[in-house]
Amino acid sequence: MKELFEELKNNFGVSEKDGFLIFEKEKLKEIFNLLKEKGFRFLSFITAVHFKDYFEIVYALRNIPEKDIIFLKTKIKENEEIETLCDIYNGANWMEREIYDLFGIKFKNHPDLRRILLPEDYEGHPLRKDFPINAPYKNWR
């Protein structure tokens, strides 16, 4: 694992903080292709965290035979898009749709980016910090 981190750091500018590998979103495809080649073939999860002026997208990859796990994250600005991982990890499809549904984050080149949990006519994205939790109930059915 140490050699892999050195390779990621030297080739892609990846850094480490609090157990997470931090990367620039522009390097997403290159990094995840390399990690898959290195045996990290299982995408455990993708999630997002909304901060005041940006989002963090958090990924977990597993190398099951070696019993290794890597946590990675990157930042995107409000209303900025990030590339999909669907072409590298099939399991990213529904995870990215869930993030789109609940946070409104768009994944470029996603094969079917639409709501997955909430109805298509639902207004807003309920896990965003700016979601109006005290707004009057609106029947969306």
Q: What is the DSSP string of 66-133?
A: TTEEEEEEEEEETT--EE--TTT-TTHHHHHHHHHHHH---EET-TT-S-SSS-TT--S-TTSTT--T
How many Å separate Cα 57 from the centre of its chain? 4
Residue 43: strand pairing partners: 61
Report the top-level CATH class of 2-108.
Answer: alpha beta
Q: 135 or 6: whose pLDDT is higher?
A: 6
pLDDT confidence of residue 52: 92
Domain boundaries, the chain: 2-108
pLDDT digits (tens, 9 = 90+) for 36-85: 999 999 999 999 999 999 999 999 999 999 999 999 999 999 999 999 99
**What's the mean pLDDT when you consider all of the chain?**
95
